[in-house]
A and B are shown apart, each in its own frame.
Chain A
């Protein structure tokens, strides 16, 4: 299965009630497959073929407010168009789940993978999980509903699965049984819902004396989910044999330098680490599985004693000191009073291939700064002509 077909299959098994979506490459095959499941009667859901991503997320939000289990998916410009409503979804504490097939943003228009679409969504208050394989896109989606609908959480979740690389590449997928999925992530009618027998007002006007508290509550709720996300992942491991953690280290125990990344690029980095380890190089890598809430304690714990770190950003943050992931990690280190030489690599934008040679070059640079302790330049654009 491809990542998209695996996601669609998970949605079928999760017995979702409402899907509202709009086509955009490379997400489209998810909604095509779901349409097929609905048409065949394999999934008993109402599929809303709306006129834009803005309406897709708006309809999902309101459908969730009735207590229904909902799903949407999008990419790139579609995610940017949803941006406004993403804030409202989290502040209203509605458990909307979405797969994002990560794709670059215009201009120039480009349909290939990078994280330019997801990074502007850093502050929307959603839980953001990152998959690095099609298998994980499936697994994380099943976990997402259990997390999102937990009465202690009640926050929307995005599952990021790199466009084209994961969305369209076929790999063998281990599927759970339908009954395993529904017992792992069961649906329950949430009592706080739009119901004429118990009227309530959702989306009220907040004066300055209430605004801060309302925003604080949803922000705090997001911070507090990290424990629940870890527990769900552990429980999922018990039924599936697959456990990812919020950060997934590889060969970090005795590493001098560590490279940190998110999404499918982590697989290339892991393969490179394996290869270089055979040559005796003391290097390691960490794949970040969770971006919001940011697992800063877990990350610092893994890297605090190494000689140098590198962070791969698959998106630019124009005018910022560095890339978005690098900024998070270096802030976490600073606040933990850890001072390690570091480098920020911008790689894989707009679908530019990142090879094992590119990753090897990153490690060469990291080993250099590990040796000297001096960083002359900390931003590198891999393959820039």
Chain B
């Protein structure tokens, strides 16, 4: 485990510059900073179209101090694979000498919905890429429309009465492809997340990290609460922090005592319309209970 403390991560150089156009309190910026610190200099970053892409590459400026490419919305995995495979060929043919790591940072729309086919292809081919999904649970770049990752009950501009289905199980999809490594992450647990990024990259890939990313604008909360919300989503059992490797799933952050989901939901405007609807809250609580039973989290303690 290379990161025994947050300090050991902080000492690493930054490859994601400040001055980008992401919102104050945006979780995606923090994810990008952690990922690039861990990945280091010899990394090529690929992003699909999305908040992170448009806000960090406004020509003629760029936030990326490592090579970066954006092609389109639905093909980040295919683009990443192309780079890794090309590097492999160029090195084998002695046309270049130094290899590079290839990392994707894609939103939930670009990953769970429109990009799922190309992601599945990259996983199935065993391409040595690390794909990280920053999941803000809706199409935030286009103005908060529901995606396949929008959770039950959440308001978006296209689910005005609240989302009626549960989130797509991206981790289950990745694991079913037989990826080398898969993990969930949250920015409230930086050390856990940094070590997972390190493992995902060092295992060569394909590897996958599903990272919950609170969105101040779309989730309707005060920007100062990003880390608190990132912690509560874990504490409620709605986002168990675990990793998968060699057929084994291991909980990496233990939650012996859970807090009720309402503690997490009530901080976010997107759930305001269901806060006085016990039936709706019960559905979300029972979803958290199911996940907790599956991954070995403790009971809810009021």
Contacts and interface: CB of A to CB of B under 8 A. Distances in A.
A and B bound?
yes
Contacts of B72: 58, 84-85, 88
A367 interface: no
Given A62-B46, A201-B64, A201-B68, A46 B89 contact: yes
A56 B65 CA distance: 28
A49 B125 contact: yes
Contacts of B83: 62-63, 65-66, 194
A196 B87 CA distance: 12
A320 interface: no
Interface in B47-93: 53-54, 57-60, 62, 64-72, 74-75, 77-83, 85-90, 92-93
A187 B67 CA distance: 23
Contact of A17 (B64, B79, B86): B86
A202 interface: yes
Contacts of A63: 82-83, 85-86
Interface string A202-239: 11111100100000000000000000000000000000
A48 B125 contact: yes
- Bin chain A's interface residue count: 35 or more
A52 interface: yes
B75 A58 contact: yes
Interface string A241-277: 0000000000000000000000000000000000000
B41 A196 contact: yes
B68 A17 contact: no
Contacts of B86: 17-18, 46, 62-64, 66-68, 70
Interface in A50-105: 50-52, 54-56, 58-68, 70, 84-85, 88
A45 B92 CA distance: 9
A202 B68 contact: yes
B117 A199 contact: no
A210 B98 contact: no
A321 interface: no
B44 A196 contact: yes
Interface in A186-204: 187, 189, 194-204
A112 B77 CA distance: 33
A88 B117 CA distance: 20
A189 B95 contact: yes
A207 B80 CA distance: 25
A60 B74 CA distance: 15
A180 interface: no
A20 B75 CA distance: 14
- Bin chain B's interface residue count: 35 or more
Interface string A6-34: 00000000000110100000000000000
B120 A199 contact: no
Nearest to B70: A203
B43 interface: yes
Contacts of B263: none
Given A54-B74, A204-B62, A18 B85 contact: yes
Contacts of B78: 50, 54-56, 58-59, 62
A55 B85 CA distance: 13
A187 B86 CA distance: 14
A211 B75 CA distance: 22
Contacts of A187: 95
B124 interface: yes
A36 interface: no
Contacts of B90: 17, 66-68
B28 to A, nearest CB: 15
B43 A196 contact: yes
B293 interface: no
Contacts of B82: 18, 20, 48, 58-63
A328 interface: no
Interface string B125-150: 10000000000000000000000000
B96 interface: yes
Given A45-B89, A194-B83, A199-B66, A54 B75 contact: yes
Contacts of A189: 95-96
A189 B89 CA distance: 13
Contact of B118 (A51, A68, A84, A199): A51
B139 to A, nearest CB: 17
B13 interface: no
A162 to B, nearest CB: 28
A66 B78 CA distance: 14
A353 interface: no
A154 to B, nearest CB: 16
Contacts of B96: 67, 189
Nearest to B95: A189
A112 B42 CA distance: 47
A42 interface: no
A31 to B, nearest CB: 15
A357 interface: no
Name which of A70, A198, A201, A205 has the most chain B CB atoms within 10 A of its CB: A201
A367 to B, nearest CB: 51
Contacts of B161: none
Contacts of A62: 46, 69, 71, 78-83, 86
Name which of A56, A70, A205 has the most chain B CB atoms within 10 A of its CB: A205
Contacts of A61: 71, 79, 82
Interface of B: 41-44, 46, 53-54, 57-60, 62, 64-72, 74-75, 77-83, 85-90, 92-93, 95-96, 98, 100, 117-118, 120-121, 124-125
29 contacts: A20-B85, A44-B92, A45-B89, A46-B89, A48-B82, A48-B125, A58-B75, A58-B78, A59-B81, A59-B82, A67-B86, A67-B95, A67-B96, A68-B89, A68-B90, A84-B72, A85-B72, A88-B71, A194-B69, A194-B83, A196-B44, A198-B67, A199-B65, A199-B66, A202-B69, A203-B71, A204-B60, A207-B58, A210-B59
A-B interface, 5 closest residue pairs, ranked by CB to CB distance from nearest: A59-B82, A51-B121, A62-B82, A55-B78, A203-B70
Given A48-B82, A59-B82, A85-B71, 7 more contacts: A20-B82, A61-B79, A62-B78, A66-B87, A196-B41, A201-B67, A207-B59
